[in-house]
């Protein structure tokens, strides 16, 4: 699969036909979904019709993508991707409502599988989109991140997952009371993710309080000073994951700076309840506010000394496809930055026992470009075609 930028450039130049590109994506989805179970629904008819009618001058002209299941059809992110010429080919799986952990996908009868190893989960809740991007079906998929739902699957699948500063991308429901969720995209290519985020950014009639339009940044080359923490709580990172992430830090200067964050578990639960329209007590709301304010101040002090904070994205590599509740704390490094609203991006740091490891970069509020610039310095190219031998020969040929 070409990158989104390469596809759009080819369609604009006339060297690629949008209908053929979309047909190839649909064919790949039909062949690989019986193995990976990443689709909730494939909408081939609409996709082909949109490809026939596409404005070939668009910034994402002819680029096929998947939409996270249960995304409102009036969502600003969909409206703006379509306006840029991108073509949705269907909806992708996510976790079922209710379980304590959302780091898996479910299509109604089967768990979504990770292309690197089909005994593993692709993460979640942007599960199907991550699996499809990692498998080369589409270069981009939409999602939302309220507790790591873009970054965790990016880590598990060797992709880029970007949660911009809170409000970076407008949402159909506007700004929620708890302020945890940021809409966004997941992709295999950092430039693709930046371009798509820029195109969908800016205030919208359904979310007029969203941040101003975010132009695609020209990323600085550094040098960068960063703080590295292997964990943000009492939960320990797997030593192998820590070793892989530390291995990519040679590109930056690591500074030993203390960071005193309050635990965010209870605050996140209270804010999530507010986002969902459930009641919380006055004491719970007050405590969540105290945690948010304390942690924002602590991070502001940290960013007076360093450009960014770096952590492992997840404490382990991908867990079993049906073992999310047993691994509920796997995304612990992610939740704190939904509570505070900081920009955070996950990119591949390398492999551990043949499975991707993600590195997370966090930067000051509004300074999304620095998070991305540091991430670009740290990221390590991984190739999903080196994935687990649990793939059949037929499926390997289908992906080559």
Report whether the peptide linkage leading into residue 43 is cis, meaning its omega lies within 30 degrees of zero.
no
Alpha carbon distances (Å) from 146 to 96, 273, 276, 346: 15, 12, 11, 14
Taking the C-alpha atoms of residue 52 and residue 42, their distance in angstroms, rounded to an integer, is: 18
Taking the C-alpha atoms of residue 334 and residue 322, their distance in angstroms, rounded to an integer, is: 21
Catalytic positions: 68, 125, 149
* Phi, psi angles (nearest 5°) of residue 171: -125, 150
Report whether the peptide linkage leading into residue 223 is cis, meaning its omega lies within 30 degrees of zero.
yes
Tell me the pairing of strands 253-254 and 225-228: parallel
Q: Contact 122/131 with Cβ under 8 angstroms?
A: yes
Q: Contact 63/47 with Cβ under 8 angstroms?
A: no
User: Would you give the DSSP letter of residue 184?
Assistant: E
* Token couple for 34: 């019986």
SS3 for 284?
helix
- Cα dihedral sign, 265-267-269-275: negative
Among 138, 130, 201, residue whose Cα is nearest residue 164 = 201
Taking the C-alpha atoms of residue 308 and residue 353, their distance in angstroms, rounded to an integer, is: 28
Taking the C-alpha atoms of residue 68 and residue 395, their distance in angstroms, rounded to an integer, is: 24
Q: Contact 143/150 with Cβ under 8 angstroms?
A: yes
């Amino acid at each position: 699969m070409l990158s989104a930028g390469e596809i759009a450039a080819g369609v604009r130049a006339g060297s690629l036909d949008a209908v053929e590109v979309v047909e190839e994506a649909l064919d790949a989805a039909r062949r690989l979904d019986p193995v990976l179970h990443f689709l909730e629904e494939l909408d081939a008819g609409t996709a082909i019709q949109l490809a026939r009618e596409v404005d070939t001058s668009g910034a994402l002209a002819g680029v096929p993508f998947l939409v996270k299941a249960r995304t409102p059809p009036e969502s600003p992110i969909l409206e703006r991707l379509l306006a840029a010429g991108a073509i949705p080919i269907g909806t992708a799986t996510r976790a079922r409502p209710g379980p304590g952990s959302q780091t898996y996908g479910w299509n109604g009868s089967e768990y979504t599988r990770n292309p690197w190893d089909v005994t593993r989960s692709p993460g979640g809740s942007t599960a199907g989109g991550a699996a499809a991007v990692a498998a080369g079906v589409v270069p981009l998929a939409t999602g939302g991140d309220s507790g790591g739902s873009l970054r965790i699957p990016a880590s598990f699948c060797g992709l880029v997952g970007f949660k911009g500063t809170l409000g970076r991308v407008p949402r159909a429901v506007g700004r929620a009371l708890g302020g945890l969720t940021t809409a966004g995209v997941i992709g295999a290519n950092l430039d693709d993710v930046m371009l798509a985020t820029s195109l969908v950014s800016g205030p919208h009639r359904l979310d007029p309080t969203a941040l101003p339009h975010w132009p695609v940044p020209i990323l600085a080359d550094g040098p960068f000073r960063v703080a590295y923490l292997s964990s943000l709580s009492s939960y320990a990172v797997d030593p192998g994951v820590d070793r892989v992430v530390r291995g990519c830090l040679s590109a930056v200067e690591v500074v030993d700076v203390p960071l005193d964050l309050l635990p965010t578990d209870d605050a996140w639960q209270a804010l999530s309840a507010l986002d969902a329209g459930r009641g919380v007590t006055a004491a719970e709301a007050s405590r969540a506010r105290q945690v948010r304010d304390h942690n924002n101040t602590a991070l502001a002090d940290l960013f007076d000394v360093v450009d960014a904070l770096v952590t492992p994205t997840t404490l382990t590599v991908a867990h079993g496809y049906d073992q999310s509740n047993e691994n509920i704390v796997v995304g612990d490094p992610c939740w704190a930055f939904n509570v505070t609203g900081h920009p955070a991006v996950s990119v591949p740091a390398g492999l551990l026992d043949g499975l991707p490891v993600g590195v997370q970069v966090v930067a000051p509020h509004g300074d999304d470009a620095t998070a991305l610039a540091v991430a670009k310095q740290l990221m390590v190219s991984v190739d999903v075609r080196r994935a687990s031998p649990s793939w059949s020969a037929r499926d390997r040929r289908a992906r080559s």
